[in-house]
Amino acid sequence: MNIYKNSLKNFNTFGIDVTAFKIIKITNINKLYYICKKYYYKSLPYIILGGGSNVLFLNHFKGIVIINRLKGININESKNCWNLHVYSGEYWHQFVKYTIKKGIFGLENLALIPGCVGSALIQNIGAYGVSLKNFCKYVDIMNLSNKKITRLSSKECNLQYRNSIFKNFYMHNYIIIALGMTISKKWKPNISYKDLNHLNLNTVTPHEIFNYICKIRKKKIPNPKIYGNAGSFFKNPLVSLKLGVKLLKTFPNIPYVIKNNIFKFSAAWLIDQCDLKGYIKGGAMIYFKHSLIIINKYKATSKDILYIAIKIYNSVGNKFGIWLEPEVRLIGSIGEINPSNIFTHNY
């Protein structure tokens, strides 16, 4: 167990210079339980972070920030599948690289996504036509009040688009310990996504897809060590059939997919139509290469970033009648804040 200085600047990819009462790195489940219980009885708030790649600290945090570094990858092989048990503190991209090196193929489309395995599950990450949901078999969680470990099936996790049961029912007083995954040995390339469909279905290899996706993501998303960011700030919106059809009549060029009578529109396209790309507030800016990304261009404060996010929210809402939902978690002085308390319709 290592105790750091209380600056959180190096523990969030926005690079926001806020502090916490205490920052503790945990590599052992027993110590994790001990620390949580100790401060629980002191009535101090705590949050658990992995890579800090999907959070925006709005204030100094008055409690304990626990950095999850529970590590380990166990592999069991059956005739048709690879069964993996991965601890939640493993870095996601390093885990994907590990599987490719081991000849376990299927996760290559999810390359170079920041953060750890635990947060990847909470968000049900997805990219280039592939979702974590496709591989999840079970999740082990621990109740921090009694140390009880429970195994949830993939179905019980209610994995949806950038959502899961860990954002509501299991949001407080629980931690994800490990993720169980099943990956078929019969590899089939997934190149259905538009950026990949130029690849040859019959000859492409997992390594080629992995390398190509890394190349794409490096072009689209700035290195957070240079310009702090959390990737896409908002989710792509899901809208009703009625509203979707209405918008297509008014904006026939709007990119979309439709499934089960639900439209999914491109949030980046909606933002672009509001002429916001490159917009600057203080030290923060809407990234000029991708309007879903807000960057810490030069010593931005959380207020700078939040101001831009609210401007995007209101501009898109007033123009299209679509109120974007933040993908980034907002952390206040004593814990996570419901975005609906900050983002309100401004007609």
Which tens digits make up the pLDDT trace of 59-77? 999 999 999 999 999 999 9
Residues 266 and 199 in one domain: no
Q: What's the whole-number mean pLDDT along residues 14-33?
A: 91
Instruction: Please check whether residue 89 lies inside any domain of the structure.
Output: yes
Q: Which residues lie closer than 8 Å to 171 by C-beta, 6 or more apart?
A: 336
Q: What's the whole-number mean pLDDT along residues 200-209?
A: 93
Residues 199 and 286 in one domain: no
* Higher per-residue pLDDT: 258 or 43: 258
* Higher per-residue pLDDT: 316 or 45: 316
- pLDDT score for 345: 67
Instruction: Please check whether residue 333 lies inside any domain of the structure.
Output: no
Question: Which CATH number covers residue 265?
Answer: 3.90.78.10
- Summarised one tens digit per residue, pLDDT across range 230-253 is 999 999 999 999 999 999 999 999
d(CA 268, CA 228): 19
Is residue 66 within 8 Å of 26, Cβ to Cβ?
yes
Nearest to 58 by CA among 305, 338, 331: 331
- Summarised one tens digit per residue, pLDDT across range 118-129 is 999 999 999 999
Instruction: Please check whether residue 103 lies inside any domain of the structure.
Output: yes
Decide if pLDDT at 347 tops 60.
no
- The model's confidence at residue 40, banded by pLDDT at 50, 70 and 90, is low
* Domain extent for 175: 73-220
Residues 261 and 171 in one domain: no
Is residue 346 within 8 Å of 318, Cβ to Cβ?
yes
Residues 205 and 105 in one domain: yes
Tokens 């814990």 label which residue? 335
Residues 90 and 53 in one domain: no
DSSP string, 160-216: BTTB-GGGTTTSSSEEEEEEEEEEESS------STTTTTS-TTT--HHHHHHHHHHH
Angle at 200 between CA 194 and CA 203, to 5 degrees: 145
d(CA 301, CA 306): 9
Decide if pLDDT at 162 tops 80.
yes
Give the DSSP letter of residue 236. P
Decide if pLDDT at 33 tops 90.
no
Decide if pLDDT at 95 tops 80.
yes
Question: Which CATH number covers residue 168?
Answer: 3.30.465.10
Structure tokens at 341: 């308390």
- pLDDT score for 194: 83
Decide if pLDDT at 93 tops 80.
yes
Residues 114 and 63 in one domain: no
If phi over 0 gives left and psi between -120 and 50 gives alpha, with beta otherwise, what is residue 241?
Answer: alpha
Instruction: Please check whether residue 226 lies inside any domain of the structure.
Output: no
- pLDDT score for 125: 95
- pLDDT score for 116: 97
Question: Which CATH number covers residue 61?
Answer: 3.30.43.10
**Amino acid at position 303, single letter:** K
Of 46, 68, 90, the domain-final residue: 68
Is residue 41 within 8 Å of 58, Cβ to Cβ?
no
Residues 96 and 149 in one domain: yes
Residues 251 and 177 in one domain: no
Residues 94 and 199 in one domain: yes
How many domains does the chain contain in total?
Answer: 3
Of 33, 68, 103, the domain-final residue: 68
Q: Report, as residue numbers or ranges, the catalytic residues.
A: 162, 232, 327
Residues 82 and 216 in one domain: yes
Of 37, 68, 99, the domain-final residue: 68
Give the DSSP letter of residue 343. -
